Structure 1
């Protein structure tokens, strides 16, 4: 019996699919069509443009022609933080990884001329498949859930074992000191976008750089690896493409991997900033690996004995998420946020900071 209250829409309903292009993100579609005729191999119009509902940071569009579908990712218009929205870096890493057989889409062109649609953009194939937004995988059976998580795990392990020099990504970042550089980066972003004083963030900015584990392993890192940034095969429980490479660089694989583990420790009250939460679920009955099982799978695939310092890595990743969401809060303040959900997400900065400090305390912070 209904109590008259509207049901909260699922993440699947909120973020999947396309919509008409938002007024603030419109551009001259005929100019884009002319550019594609000159620069996209095999392109044949006419062109129809839609906007994907998901995508907090870089507005993302579906480009439809009678014979093919493409995806366009662009820098948002308006005032931007330094080094943010680096779609040229996204283009470089996706192109290189696709060329060495990793699950990344084929790219066609990078346009650095703001005169075409107003900001830099790139175009890649639209990989036909499923983007699933709910980490508990409703509608899937127990065996399928396990296989999906196993494929997520295997895909990340593959990424971290690619020879980035041979892939042409030797200059994609500065090898070494990854955590120190990341803490510095997100601290600067947090301060630049700060909208209120959060004591725990200030403590973390002091504690994290002094407590980094001694281990300078280097790999390509995705930076935002989670279920809804992958495309699954249309019918099989298999990752066929990894999307949203804006935060990728050369970095520490354990920073990347433990970020992908955040949904196991994320409180379930909507503080996840996109990671979702499976913390309180009965994972065994659902067929989803436990955190311990998921870590073991990854370690076996990457020849690691195990992962020490998990509390530090979770403190770091909660802090990093808080810094990312504070950037969104700053864009809400400045009127450049690209998602209707951005304001809601910006309210999660404080809860994430509190979680980060809790894990820092577990790791010895006073």
Structure 2
């Protein structure tokens, strides 16, 4: 299987014959379901080819998963970290397999009916609960530096953009300049996920959050960055072009923000800069995916349209800075 040498992995694990399938939907790290016929695991490894500096860090993902799962937060329990690139060609993290449904298609969401509201608010509650954890108490006190987080993020994602250039993206330089001109200091720091959204969460039969996935961009920083990105994703098209916000029963962004504020006790009265930055960050991420696609370094389907998603995000970032929080609310 491309990206995963099953024979070498079998030898490394000391187990029987392995089978694997790659999870659909991923645009960054490659994720596989692996089984020896008795046990099931999930394996995560960096993408093929072009990898942005500081991204796709298996060591960090393994550390945060261990700390969060031990603290009782719904995150997969890590089983093994391998930094020996001779095994499968890249570092990887092996973790427990968690059952659940990932909602990335509007049709199953529609079928939930009024229950979609409870599901989305449960997602918001889970984010607030993450931000309520004391990093020092769970062993993540050295996981990042909350002070100056927003300023560093603006610099970092500009560097990531410069490292992923394969074409001109109108308006993206101007968006970065606007964001850099007025960076909020931010409040008390917390563990931040970095890519928090509905389709990065496994949902159980009772519509509870079984596990939050994809921790590769997690660190200590400004929790409002997670809130803003969650709101941007709520206004982004799903598989058939509709946004989650357009599905009947889905809470609006004002209700989502109010729910987060009530559970976390944090001030969310002005999220415009954060939403603008979230749109910029996501545009840079997708531009990096587009770069890998044009270089022939992606696996799976759906990458041919990623490049088309960048320009609307740039426009969304400018609109947020102009006063429109999220379209489609």
Q: TM-score, normalised by structure 1?
A: 0.83
Alignment of 1:164-203 (within 5 A): 164-203=135-174
* Separation in 1, partners of 2:187, 2:148: 7
Deviation, 1:351, is 1.9
**Matching residue within 92, 112, 119 for 1:140:** 112
- 2:207 corresponds to which of 237, 256, 260: 237
Give the drift of 1:56: 1.3
2:38 counterpart (43, 46, 67): 67
> Structure 1 segments of 4 or more deviating over 3 A?
263-266, 268-272
2:2 is the counterpart of 1:36: no
Distance 1:216 1:176, change over 3 A: farther
For 2:41, what is the secondary structure of its paired residue? strand
What does residue 48 of structure 1 align with?
19
Q: Could you tell which deviates more after superposition, 242-251 or 309-318?
A: 309-318
Indicate if the aligned counterparts of 1:146 and 1:289 stay in contact, CA closer than 8 A. yes
1:338 Cα offset (Å): 3.4
Give distance in 2, aligned partners of 1:261 and 1:45: 44
CA offsets, 1:144-171, max 9 Å, x none? 2122112111111110000011111111
Q: Which has the larger radius of gyration?
A: 1
Q: Does 1:262 align with 2:223?
A: no
2-structure distance, mates of 1:98, 1:322:
30
Q: Give 1:117 shift.
A: 0.8
Q: Determine the structure 2 residue equivalent to 1:356.
A: 317
Whether 2:275 is the aligned partner of 1:314: answer yes
Give the aligned partner of residue 253 of structure 1.
223
Matches within 5 A, 1:1-366: 21=1, 24-27=2-5, 29-37=6-14, 45-134=16-105, 137-142=109-114, 144-233=115-204, 235-266=205-236, 268=237, 277-279=243-245, 281=246, 286-304=248-266, 306-362=267-323
Q: Are the structure 2 counterparts of residues 98 and 292 from structure 1 closer, same or farther at C-alpha, using a change threshold of 3 Å?
A: same
Conserved? CA contact 2:202–2:211, under 8 Å: yes
- Superposed CA deviations along residues 36-89 of structure 1, whole A, max 9, x for unmatched, are 13xxxxxx5332122112211111111112322100001223242222211221
SS in structure 2 of the partner of residue 326 of structure 1: helix
Query: Deviations for 1:259-286, whole angstroms, at most 9, x for unmatched residues?
Result: 11114444x49799xxx7234x2x6xx3
**CA distance in 1: counterparts of 2:319 and 2:259, whole angstroms:** 27
What's the TM-score, normalizing by structure 2? Answer: 0.91
Q: State whether residues 176 and 216 of structure 1, in contact with CA within 8 Å, keep that contact through their aligned partners in structure 2.
A: no
Query: Is 1:56–1:338's contact at 8 Å kept on the other side of the alignment?
Result: no
Equivalent-residue separation in structure 1 for 2:47 and 2:235 (angstroms): 32
Q: Is the 8 A contact 2:71 2:138 kept in 1?
A: yes
> Residues 30 and 334 (structure 1 numbering): CA distance in 2 closer, same or farther, change over 3 Å?
same
Residues paired across the two proteins, number: 323
Unaligned runs of 5+ in 2: 325-329
- State the distance in 2 between where 1:238 and 1:146 align: 12
Of 114-123 and 339-348, deviating more is 339-348
Match for residue 17 of structure 1?
A: none
* CA–CA distance in structure 1, aligned partners of residues 127 and 219 of structure 2: 14
